[in-house]
Amino acid sequence: MQKKTFQLIVDNTSGVLSRISGLFSRRGYNIESITAGVTADPRFTRITIVTSGDDEILDQIEKQVAKLIDVRDIRELVPEESVYRELALIKVKAGAAERPSIIAVANVFRANIIDVGAENLIIELTGSQSKIDAFLRLLDGYEILELARTGVAGLCRGVDKVVYIAE
Amino acid sequence: MNGAQAMVKCLELEGVKTVFGYPGVAICPFYDSILDSDIRTVLIRTEQNAAHAASGMARVTGKVGVCAVTSGPGATNLITGIATAFADSIPLVCITGQVNSELIGSDVFQEADITGAAESFVKYSYLVKNAEDIPRIFKEAFYIANTGRKGPVLIDVPIDVQNAPVGKFRYPEGDVMLRTYKPTVKGHAVQIKKVMAELEKAKRPVICAGGGVLLSDAQDMLRAFAHRYQVPVVTTMMGIGAMQTEDELYFGMVGNNGAPCANRAMNDADMVIMVGARVADRAVNQPEIITRDKVLVHMDVDPAEIGKNAGPTIPLVGDAKHIFEDMMQIEIRCDHGLWLQTLYEYSQIMKETRGSGPSYIDPAEFIRKLSDRMERDAIYVADVGQNQIWSCRNCIVRDGKFLTSGGMGTMGYSIPAAMGAKLGCPDRQVVAVCGDGSFQMSMMELATMRQHGVSVKIIVIANGCLGMVREYQKNTYGGRYSVVDLSGSPDLSKLAEAYGIRFIRVSGRGEEDAAIDAFLRDDDSVLMECIIDPMDTVK
């Protein structure tokens, strides 16, 4: 079982996300995270999917997704040649007494405090999945009231592998 | 011009001659416009059969089959037909009416989310939102359905879009350019060279041909290739007819219901060339057998099929016809005389003996005799059940075709598919062979045959039960039979009379010859009931 991150460029049509997620569910593929957003060209959407499986399954995922008519391009975001980021918003229960220590940890991770209430803080953290996981482990002694993670978005490094959609 | 007229115009421009379907309010604008066209409409008696009939027509003509039904239950009834076509990669364009676009999502009368419901059984689907898009969408739909790995495409058209004006009708000309969809046609030259180099080295090669060979119309190339390099051929169920049954290089169908000799050939081979076949469970039960100690070549137009069930030594993506053409450009020396000799011996030793009761008709022998006397280019449509297995193993195919629902195994396929085949090839003899279970799933279509003068010859192999399931229950549940008794079936002679169709019944051994002659004599519809031993089995 290994993890792979795919980047998809798809037509920005209604139902395209359901076609892709439907394919994963009916063939029993895992989705660890999926993010979607419009590209610089509004006709297309970029989707980043983190998935896992053995080699054969991962090979099938790539081929079956490529077969969908709306999918213009699918390729792996190879870890060594790509950057990945995820955003997390974390609402932590924190009275005046806990606040300084939480802020101290947040500073180490270069997280931002984006909201402060009488009894809570909201922390914004951007980074790789493992960085976010590590940060959450450090908050173990505190009560996390709510957590929102966006899932991974990624890009390959450099200009060689940029996907140009031919007209 | 309105949307409905544009839809009909598109069908005309695509060369569609026949539309199978069932109207309802939501598709009425379309059925109104088609009155002004030369396109023939066939009122099928239940929507599922509209897709099966279109499938039968597509498989004999090589053109896209078309059906059109209404929204809601009409559309949902169609799904089994669409799924059947999808499993066997049959090109269809299925048109469904839809409720007014402003009402979509509000659960109005006869509304069903058909693009959503059919999503996993279609190659692509469209919900038309703007009548101006109709020409482009139809052009794309026909192209997608009949290229690459073929399959059904669904077009859902709300009634207001059918009624909306289309300013300027312009049908896209030439090839469709879909930037995301570019099926590979030509095989990779390096891979082709590798295959031929392996074939030159191989001592015991075998070709396993699937339905893809027929879909790419490559049967002549396959036959030429096999003869030139003296390579024995076996087929999957969907590949039956790719080789003539009596060809000396043909050794039968593989799989758990296949010919022992064909399976032996696959097991003993040192090189297996799978072409247009999925390596699915019924054909290749244990994929490791065809990969262990063998060179496995897998050719398919769909790259996702290669490596899905078995990892090939040489993958080769492309259209079978082109690949065979390119391979035959390469000269190699090979002699497989010894191997063929071994296989001939196997085929003699492994001849099956069957255990029909002595007074009963042997369905296997009956099908051999029937298909032997059919016209050379006749079309034989087998249904699903024991009758299918007897047909697959015993039907003699020469210049004709053998059609059946292989992937989905949909009971009731044979009669509507035979009807579609007959309308596609009116000059050819068309015979549907079903069991008494599958017959009753489609017997309402006798009315369609009468109404439209479609002469299909139907054989019902009758044993009074769901034989295939009964046989399974006998073997797996120790003979505890559950819900397989078909008591209450109608008297077929009276049914035939009610529909005004000639009827023949044959029940005793020795009566077959005369009955088959009478059955095949004229080109009219006949219903023949062939009573067999109720406990007869395929194994």
Instruction: Walk me through the domains of chain A, giving residue ranges and CATH numbers.
Output: 2-76 (3.30.70.260), 83-153 (3.30.70.1150)
Q: Which residues of B touch A74 (CB under 8 A)?
A: none
Mapped onto helix, strand or coil, the DSSP state of residue B512 is helix
Main-chain phi, psi angles of B354, to 5 degrees: -115, 155
Long-range contacts of A63-66 (CB under 8 A, 24+ apart): A63/B303, A63/B304, A64/A23, A64/A27, A64/B304, A65/A6, A65/A8, A65/A20, A65/A23, A66/B303, A66/B304
Are domains B3-163 and B189-349 of this chain identical in fold? yes
Q: Which of A19, A64, A166 sits opposite B179 (nearest CB)?
A: A166
B109 Cα to chain A: minimum distance (Å): 23
Instruction: Give the span between the Cα atoms of B523 and B33, in whole angstroms.
Output: 33
What would the mean pLDDT of B145-157 be, rounded to a whole number?
97
Q: Is the pLDDT of residue B307 over 70?
A: yes
Fold classified for B3-163: Rossmann fold (3.40.50)
Q: Which of B115, B124, B303 sits opposite A69 (nearest CB)?
A: B124
Q: Which of A67, A69, A166 sits opposite B304 (nearest CB)?
A: A67
CB atoms A60 and B304 under 8 Å: yes
Instruction: Give the per-residue pLDDT at A167.
Output: 57
Instruction: Give the per-residue pLDDT at A58.
Output: 94
B303 Cα to chain A: minimum distance (Å): 7
Sorted by sequence, the CB contacts under 8 Å of residue B70 that are 6+ apart come out as B22, B23, B24, B25, B26, B27, B28, B96, B97, B110
CB atoms B178 and A69 under 8 Å: yes
CB atoms B180 and A59 under 8 Å: no
Residue with tokens 């509304």: B111
* DSSP code at position B168: S
Instruction: Give the span between the Cα atoms of A53 and A31, in whole angstroms.
Output: 10
For residue B437, give the nearest of B493, B386, B366 by alpha carbon: B386
Tokens of B443: 């017997």
Helical spans, DSSP H, in B118-259: 134-145, 159-163, 189-201, 211-215, 219-229
B165 Cα to chain A: minimum distance (Å): 24
CA A26 to chain centroid, in Å, comes to: 22
Instruction: Give the per-residue pLDDT at B354.
Output: 74
Instruction: Give the span between the Cα atoms of A50 and A42, in whole angstroms.
Output: 23
For residue B57, give the nearest of B407, B479, B421 by alpha carbon: B421
Q: Across the A/B interface, how many CB contacts are shorter than 8 Å?
A: 37
Interface of A with B (CB under 8 A): 11, 14-15, 18-19, 22, 26, 56, 59-60, 63-64, 66-67, 69-72, 165-167
Q: Which amino acid would we find at residue A76?
A: E
Instruction: Give the span between the Cα atoms of B41 and B67, in whole angstroms.
Output: 9
What are the pLDDT digits (tens) for B368-409?
A: 999 999 999 999 999 999 999 999 999 999 999 999 999 999
Instruction: Give the per-residue pLDDT at B351.
Output: 80
What are the pLDDT digits (tens) for B213-242?
A: 999 999 999 999 999 999 999 999 999 999
Q: Which residues of B touch A15 (CB under 8 A)?
A: 115-116, 127
* CATH, domain range B189-349: 3.40.50.1220
B105 Cβ under 8 Å from any chain A Cβ: no
| Burial of residue B531 (number of CB atoms within 10 Å: 0-12, 13-18, 19+) | middle
B123 Cβ under 8 Å from any chain A Cβ: yes
Tokens of B275: 């072409």
Q: With contact defined as beta carbons under 8 Å apart, do B174 and B202 qualify?
A: no
Instruction: For B363-531, give the CATH class.
Output: alpha beta
Q: Which of B123, B144, B304 sits opposite A64 (nearest CB)?
A: B304
Report the residue of B101, B140, B180, B317 to disrupt the A interface, i.e. the one with the largest count of A CBs within 10 Å: B180
Domain ranges of chain B: 3-163, 189-349, 363-531
Instruction: Give the span between the Cα atoms of B315 and B299, in whole angstroms.
Output: 6
168-227 of B, contacting A, C-beta below 8 A: 178-181
Local confidence band at A57 (pLDDT 50, 70, 90 cut-offs): very high
What pTM does this model have? Answer: 0.92
B288 Cβ under 8 Å from any chain A Cβ: no
CB atoms B123 and A69 under 8 Å: yes
Q: With contact defined as beta carbons under 8 Å apart, do B118 and B79 qualify?
A: yes
Q: Is the pLDDT of residue A38 over 80?
A: yes
Instruction: Give the per-residue pLDDT at B285.
Output: 80
Q: Which residues of B touch A59 (CB under 8 A)?
A: 307
CB atoms B307 and A56 under 8 Å: yes
For residue B328, give the nearest of B340, B320, B338 by alpha carbon: B320
Instruction: Say what the ipTM of the complex is.
Output: 0.77
What would the mean pLDDT of B420-449 be, rounded to a whole number?
98
Lateral strand order in the sheet of B430-435: B401-403, B379-382, B430-435, B457-462, B526-531, B502-506
CA distances from B504 to B75, B457, B461 (A): 37, 11, 12
What element of type H or E holds B8?
helix B3-13
Instruction: Give the per-residue pLDDT at B44.
Output: 98
CA distances from B156 to A17, B24, B168 (A): 19, 14, 21
Q: Is the pLDDT of residue A107 over 70?
A: yes
What are the pLDDT digits (tens) for B49-89?
A: 999 999 999 999 999 999 999 999 999 999 999 999 999 99
CB atoms B119 and A63 under 8 Å: no
Q: With contact defined as beta carbons under 8 Å apart, do B506 and B512 qualify?
A: yes
- Give the residue from chain B lying closest to A73, CA to CA: B180
CB atoms B120 and A22 under 8 Å: yes
Instruction: Give the span between the Cα atoms of B45 and B278, in whole angstroms.
Output: 33
Handedness of CA A123, A127, A133, A139 (dihedral sign): negative
Q: Which amino acid would we find at residue B450?
A: R
